[in-house]
Amino acid sequence: MTDAKYHTPEDQTLQGRVFRPSSTTELREAIEQAFDYRGDVALELTSGETVVGYVFNRDANGAVPALELFPKDLPGVRKIAYADVVSIAFTGEDTASGKSWEAWVAKKESQRRAESEQVAAAARARGHL
């Protein structure tokens, strides 16, 4: 295993991390992380192939445990057996990082400070402050 823990704290992202499971249990946990991740992942397969895409489904309890993925640069859906996965790299941007909210809040706070400063400056010009 590259990382000791699979479950990333909520304030951290998996982006850039690589999991190389050494057991079936670790493999299942890593695939759960990939399923939960809101970015693309790169799967290294036993065949030597690397598949990049978004994991949108997984069936860990089926007759043949498998995940389903939208390949990044190809149409359609790719189904991959758990047993075929060697490693999982979280290569894509974590789109759930919350940047849009942070950016908007920062913008609004900046605007409010600017407005407040304008009002204060006008008051000083009138001799009220």
Partner 1 sequence: MAVPLSQMFTVTKYVLTQKLKGVKRYPLVLMLEPLFRCNLACAGCGKIQYPDHVLDKRLTPEQCWAAAEECGAPIVSIPGGEPLIHPEMPEIVRGLIARKKYVYLCTNAILLERKLDEYTPSKYLTFSVHMDGLKEEHDRAVCRDGVYETAVRAIKAALKRGFRVTTNTTLFDDANPERVRAFFDEMMKLGVEGMMISPGYSYQKAPDQQHFLKRHRTRELFSKILGNRKPGWRFNQSPLFLEFLMGKREYQCTPWGNPTYNIFGWQRPCYLLQDGYARTFRELMEETDWERYGAGRNEKCADCMVHCGYEASAVEDTFSSWSGLSRTVKATLLPNAR
The verdict on 79 binding partner 1 (CB under 8 A) reads: no
The verdict on 73 binding partner 1 (CB under 8 A) reads: yes
- Give 65-70's long-range contacts (Cβ < 8 A, gap of 24+): 65/28, 67/31, 67/34, 67/35, 69/43
Q: Shortest approach of partner 1 to residue 71 CB, angstroms?
A: 8
Q: How far apart are CA 8 and CA 101, in angstroms?
A: 21
Identify the DSSP state of 128: -
The verdict on 68 binding partner 1 (CB under 8 A) reads: yes
Find the binder of partner 1 among 46, 79, 108, 113 (CB under 8 A).
108
The verdict on 38 binding partner 1 (CB under 8 A) reads: yes
Span from 1-9, 15-23, 68-76, 113-121 in contact with partner 1 (CB under 8 A): 68-76
First-to-final CA distance of the chain: 64
The verdict on 28 binding partner 1 (CB under 8 A) reads: no
The verdict on 125 binding partner 1 (CB under 8 A) reads: no
Got the DSSP string for 7-50?
S--TTS--TT-EE--SSHHHHHHHHHHHHH-SS-EEEEETTS-E
Positions that interact with partner 1 (CB under 8 A): 10, 35, 38-40, 53-54, 56-59, 68, 70, 72-73, 92-93, 95-96, 98-102, 104, 108
